[in-house]
Amino acid sequence: MTLAQLKALLAGNPDRYFRIRLPDGSPVPLSFHVTEVGCVQKTFLDCGGTLRESVSCQLQVWVGQDYDHRIETRKMAAILDRAKGYLPDESVPVEVEYEDRVISQYAIADHEISEEAVVLVLAHKHTECLAPELCGLPPIGRLPAIGSSSCCGPSGCC
């Protein structure tokens, strides 16, 4: 979900609560806070030697001791509005950072709207090889045969 899509979703549902569901289906406790809205910029060299960049809007979510706290869509929209000065534009993807035993970053896979709430449905993020053609990787879903060369192939890019 992009920042523009999230803002439109919140603006279109101003009198509801804002909720988050983890990839396993469990909800983030209702009393969560959005403690950060960050612009995360990453410049990196992939395993094929290509310089790449990525930018995202990251919402850090934290659950405190104030169990009666609830965040509404209007409040969330206002929080995002305050961050517009340092986010590059509204086409950036929005991710959620949440600690449940470990700190994890999630993509927003979908949303649901009920009479009471707007719920963001999170999905796991995954690592991947960004230069499969240089690394000699098989097509997605096919594992190399036993006895074949390593996943990095003859180029040794890894």
- What span, in angstroms and rounded, lies between the C-alpha atoms of 50 and 59? 28
Cα–Cα distance list, 99 to 23, 39, 71, 83, 96 (Å): 13, 19, 18, 22, 10
Q: Could you tell me if 137 and 151 are in contact, meaning their C-beta atoms sit under 8 angstroms apart?
A: yes
Least confident of 1-5, 102-106, 151-155: 151-155
**pTM of the model as a whole:** 0.84
Stretch (H or E) spanning 120: strand 117-124
**What percent of the chain is predicted at pLDDT more than 70?**
87
- Can you read off the two tokens belonging to residue 128? 């991947």
E strands, 15-91, are 17-21, 32-45, 51-63
> Rg of the chain's alpha carbons, rounded to an integer?
19
Q: Given this model, what pLDDT does residue 128 score?
A: 87
For 19-44, write each residue's pLDDT tens digit.
999 999 999 999 999 999 999 999 99
For 113-150, write each residue's pLDDT tens digit.
999 999 999 999 998 888 888 888 875 554 444 554 44
